[in-house]
Amino acid sequence: MKMKLLIFLLLVGFSPISFAKIPPTFPSSYHLSSLASKGNELLNYETNYFTQILDHFNYNPQSYQTFQQRYLFNDKYWGGSKNNAPIFVYTGNEGNIEWFTQNTGFMFEIAPHFNALLVFIEHRFYGKSIPYGGDKEIAYSNKSTLGYLSSTQALADYATLIIDLKNNLTATDSPVVVFGGSYGGMLAAWFRLKYPHVTIGALASSAPILNFDNITSPYSFNNIITQDFRGESENCYKVIKGSWKQIEDTAKTTGGLDKLRKSFRICKNYISRGSLENWVSTAFVYTAMTDYPTPSNFLNPLPAYPVKEMCKAIDDPKTGKDTFEKLYGAANIYYNYTGKTTCFDLNDDSDPHDLGGWTWQACTEMVMPTEGSNKESIFPPSEWDYNERVRFCKSTFGVKPRPNWVTTEFGGYNIERVLKRFGSNIIFFNGLRDPWSGAGVLKNISRSIVAIIAKEGAHHVDLRWSSKEDPEWLREVRGREVNIISKWLSQYYQTLTEIF
Ligand SMILES: *[C@@H]1O[C@H](CO)[C@@H](O)[C@H](O)[C@H]1NC(C)=O
Ligand SMILES: *[C@@H]1O[C@H](CO)[C@@H](O)[C@H](O)[C@H]1NC(C)=O
Ligand SMILES: *[C@@H]1O[C@H](CO)[C@@H](O)[C@H](O)[C@H]1NC(C)=O
Ligand SMILES: *[C@@H]1O[C@H](CO)[C@@H](O)[C@H](O)[C@H]1NC(C)=O
Ligand SMILES: CC(=O)N[C@H]1CO[C@H](CO)[C@@H](O)[C@@H]1O
């Protein structure tokens, strides 16, 4: 059997120095205890808009159109331009920038340590950064308007905005470090490679930059989800794996869809087998992605270690042999952890974080094969079918994807060999429980392009707010990141003062 096309989102002080030629010194080892939870009381920012160019790459009259790009900033901890204090920039991804900012506590927590200015830039076509006068209806109307939504335009936006902001602050010598998670992490890494004159280094968290063309196996994504659940219990894995056929068989019988609707507490509106399967599998995918060690509310409110909780529901002896009741129990954790949902609405297409533009990106350059499922997979066996993507994109937008563009523009093949000599100052963080980690950079490439791996980690867990309940491995990851960034900054200040 075959599931309907699903496209998943990919979904950090020093003493102030005077302009004098004394490079600042950093503690050689960052005190992890100072990262102790302050909760999100540090979350604080002002909102600004910048007049951005619609098309950076040609000089047709319509390219000169502009739009208002939103960025958030916090200068509470900034050491100022006289001190060349650093600027930390979050390279926004496919959604409302406030949402990413709220979920990137790490930058707020480390800003005082570095006396850093914080800037969070919204990606064009998302949130409030909508071209065509901010009118989303017009901006999203067709391929002629959506054509300006691309990663290369977004990176050029970031460079333009950062340079202008530094001029305004007379902070041209302040070093910029970029941060990002998921697609934002890909942008951060690519920004360092393409704009080395604008940023001194990048922390790319859970950035699946190798999920293009045929670099990473299309089975990798679902294999990792399978491992996550199978690692909890063999029974949990078997129940989920066996459930798809039962859903299929039940759906075929008369009154079967109604029975399924009742079993899963689905609201009384149209359901199909496909929409139910997507709804259930989405819960497993996103729970694996956000399998954090503490309670969270990123995509949905979830308990700590939600994969474990789902498997507990499935293994619960109270549900006996009733597969649907078990599956309902698991889905209930992802969709109803607050306990406030009276019935599940499969037709709910609300988009609170404004992620809709990703479908266009997935139909043009972000062709990331993840839909393969082998015999062992927790999902029904299926092959990644590029042609299915092409059909979907043609019928939805009238465009054909360019699956080779990302590797042409940013590279990806033989990344170790290429970046060893060419690149520097990038941290690739990956949590191995995250299905996207299979397409991340998992090996150290050089002394300054390093891979930090957390076996127990999920999707950009390092960037989240710290908590007293954080496990030791997570504190260690953050401490290492802080130390590496300190080193980049020290080196930068040293070269700034060297006389050539
Ligand atoms: C695309 O949308 C824009 C803005 O709504 C409109 O002006 C234009 O005519 C549309 N183009 C096509 C080919 O439909
Ligand atoms: C820099 O200052 C100019 C003039 O006030 C302003 O228009 C522009 O938006 C500022 N740039 C940024 C990035 O805020
Ligand atoms: C959501 O959880 C609450 C509390 O556990 C429960 O009463 C309610 O029935 C659940 N909703 C659905 C749709 O199952
Ligand atoms: C990368 O190198 C550091 C030492 O510089 C080491 O601690 C770390 O384990 C290495 N990472 C990987 C993924 O091998
Ligand atoms: C050998 C192989 O798997 N080739 C595939 C590489 O990716 C393209 C799409 O980008 C497929 O069409 C090929 O079949």
- Whether residue 298 contacts residue 286, with contact meaning beta carbons closer than 8 Å, is answered with no
- Using one digit for the tens of pLDDT, what is the confidence trace for 283-303? 999 999 999 999 999 889 999
117-121 sheet: strands from edge to edge: 46-53, 66-74, 117-121, 87-91, 176-181, 201-205, 426-431, 449-454
d(CA 287, CA 393): 27
Q: Which ligand sits closest to the CA of 334? A: 3
- Whether residue 496 contacts residue 86, with contact meaning beta carbons closer than 8 Å, is answered with no
d(CA 345, ligand 4 centre) in Å: 46
Closest atom of ligand 2 to 50 CA is: 9
* Mean pLDDT value across residues 312-326: 94
**DSSP symbols for 368-433:** -----B-TT-SSPPB---HHHHHHHHHHHHS----TTHHHHHH-BTBHHHHHHHH---EEEEEETT
| pLDDT score of 23 more than 70 | no
| pLDDT score of 13 more than 60 | no
- Using one digit for the tens of pLDDT, what is the confidence trace for 76-102? 999 999 999 999 999 999 999 999 999
Closest C-alpha residue for ligand 3 atom 1: 339
- Report the share of the chain in percent with pLDDT over 70: 92
d(CA 247, CA 241): 11
Average pLDDT taken over every residue of the chain: 91
Q: Is 451 in the pocket of ligand 4 (CB under 6 A)?
A: yes
In which band, very low, low, confident or very high, does the pLDDT at 8 lie, cut at 50, 70 and 90? Answer: low
d(CA 70, ligand 3 centre) in Å: 38
Closest atom of ligand 2 to 165 CA is: 13
Higher pLDDT pick, 500 / 178: 178
**Ligand 3 lining (C-beta closer than 6 Å):** 265, 332, 336, 339, 341-344
Closest C-alpha residue for ligand 3 atom 2: 339
Closest C-alpha residue for ligand 2 atom 2: 168
56 flagged as catalytic: no
Q: Which ligand sits closest to the CA of 389? A: 5
- Whether residue 200 contacts residue 176, with contact meaning beta carbons closer than 8 Å, is answered with yes
pLDDT value, residue 357: 95
Q: Is 258 in the pocket of ligand 2 (CB under 6 A)?
A: no
150 flagged as catalytic: no
Q: Which ligand sits closest to the CA of 455? A: 4
Q: Which ligand sits closest to the CA of 147? A: 1
- Give me the domains of the chain, ranges plus CATH numbers: 2-214+407-499 (3.40.50.1820)
Closest atom of ligand 5 to 367 CA is: 10
* Mean pLDDT value across residues 344-358: 89
Q: Is 20 exposed, middle or buried (0-12, 13-18, 19+ CB in 10 A)?
A: exposed
In which band, very low, low, confident or very high, does the pLDDT at 42 lie, cut at 50, 70 and 90? Answer: confident
Dihedrals phi, psi of 451, to nearest 5 degrees: -105, 125
**Ligand 5 lining (C-beta closer than 6 Å):** 213-214, 386, 403
* Mean pLDDT value across residues 177-206: 98
| pLDDT score of 328 more than 60 | yes
Count of other CB atoms within 10 angstroms of residue 197: 8
281 flagged as catalytic: no
| pLDDT score of 3 more than 60 | no
Query: Annotated catalytic residue: which of 434, 462, 470, 486?
Result: 434
- Whether residue 233 contacts residue 313, with contact meaning beta carbons closer than 8 Å, is answered with no
pLDDT value, residue 9: 61
d(CA 142, ligand 1 centre) in Å: 6
d(CA 178, CA 201): 6
Q: What is the pTM of this model?
A: 0.92
* Mean pLDDT value across residues 473-482: 97
Closest atom of ligand 3 to 338 CA is: 2
d(CA 380, ligand 3 centre) in Å: 28
Residue 220, classed as helix, strand or coil, is helix
pLDDT value, residue 100: 96
Query: Annotated catalytic residue: which of 151, 174, 182, 424?
Result: 182
Query: Annotated catalytic residue: which of 151, 459, 470, 486?
Result: 459
d(CA 324, CA 321): 9
| pLDDT score of 19 more than 70 | no
N- to C-terminal Cα distance for the chain? 67
- Using one digit for the tens of pLDDT, what is the confidence trace for 246-286? 999 999 999 999 999 999 999 988 789 999 999 999 999 99
Q: How many CA atoms lie within 13 A of 161 on its CB side?
A: 33
- Whether residue 14 contacts residue 115, with contact meaning beta carbons closer than 8 Å, is answered with yes
Higher pLDDT pick, 55 / 29: 55
Tell me the angle at which helices 323-335 and 234-252 cross, rounded to the nearest 10 degrees: 110
pLDDT value, residue 352: 86
Q: State which amino acid sits at residue 469.
A: E
* Mean pLDDT value across residues 114-142: 97
Closest atom of ligand 5 to 213 CA is: 10
d(CA 340, ligand 3 centre) in Å: 6
